A and B are shown apart, each in its own frame.
Chain A
Amino acid sequence: MKEIYAYREMIFSLVKRDLKGRYKGSALGFLWTFINPLMQLCVYTLVFSQIMRAGVEDYYLFLFVALIPWLFFSTCLTGGCVCVSSQQDLVKKIYFPREVLPIAFVTSQFINMILSFVVVFCVLLISGKGINVLAILCLPVIWIIEYILGLGITLIVSSVTIFLRDLEYVLGIIAMAWQFLTPVMYPRSLVPEKFMGLFLLNPMTPVIEAYREILYYKQIPELRTLGHAVFMGVALLAIGIVVFSKLKRDFAEEL
Chain B
Amino acid sequence: MDKDMAIEVRHITKKFKIFYDKGHTMKELVLFKNRRKYEERLVLDDISFSIKKGEGVGLIGRNGCGKSTTLKLLTRIIYPNSGEININGRVSSLIELGAGFHPDMSGRENIYINAAIFGLTRKEIDAKVDEIIDFSELWDYIDTPVRTYSTGMYMRLAFAVAINVNADILLIDEILAVGDARFQEKCFNKMREIKARGTTIVIVSHSLEQIEAICEKSIWIEHGKIKAEGEPKQIHKQYLEFMKNGYIE
Contact = CB atoms under 8 A, between A and B. Distances in A.
B113 A94 contact: no
A224 interface: no
Contacts of B27: 166
Interface string B100-137: 10101100000011011111111001000000000000
The residue among B78, B95, B100, B102 with the most chain A CB atoms within 10 A of its own CB is: B100
A164 B26 contact: yes
A95 B77 contact: yes
A82 to B, nearest CB: 13
Interface stretch (A4-12, A55-63, A141-149, A199-207): A4-12
Interface residues of A, number: 26
Nearest to A24: B104
A92 B27 CA distance: 26
Contacts of A21: 102, 104
- If over half of A's interface residues share one DSSP class (helix, strand or loop), that class is named, otherwise mixed; here it is helix
A184 to B, nearest CB: 29
26 contacts: A7-B116, A9-B115, A9-B122, A9-B125, A10-B119, A12-B122, A17-B105, A17-B113, A21-B102, A21-B104, A89-B99, A90-B100, A90-B117, A91-B77, A93-B95, A94-B117, A94-B118, A95-B77, A164-B25, A164-B29, A165-B24, A165-B25, A166-B27, A249-B79, A250-B79, A253-B78
A9 B122 CA distance: 6
B26 A95 contact: no
Contact of A93 (B25, B96, B125): B96
B75 interface: yes
Interface in A1-40: 6-10, 12-13, 17, 21, 24
B195 to A, nearest CB: 21
A95 B76 contact: yes
The residue among A91, A95, A249 with the most chain B CB atoms within 10 A of its own CB is: A95
A89 B100 contact: yes
Contacts of B113: 13, 17
Interface of B: 16, 24-27, 29, 72, 75-79, 91, 93, 95-96, 99-100, 102, 104-105, 112-113, 115-122, 125
Nearest to A165: B24
A98 to B, nearest CB: 10
B102 A17 contact: yes
A253 B38 CA distance: 14
Contacts of A17: 102, 105, 113
Contacts of B122: 9, 12
A21 B75 CA distance: 30
A96 interface: yes
B217 to A, nearest CB: 24
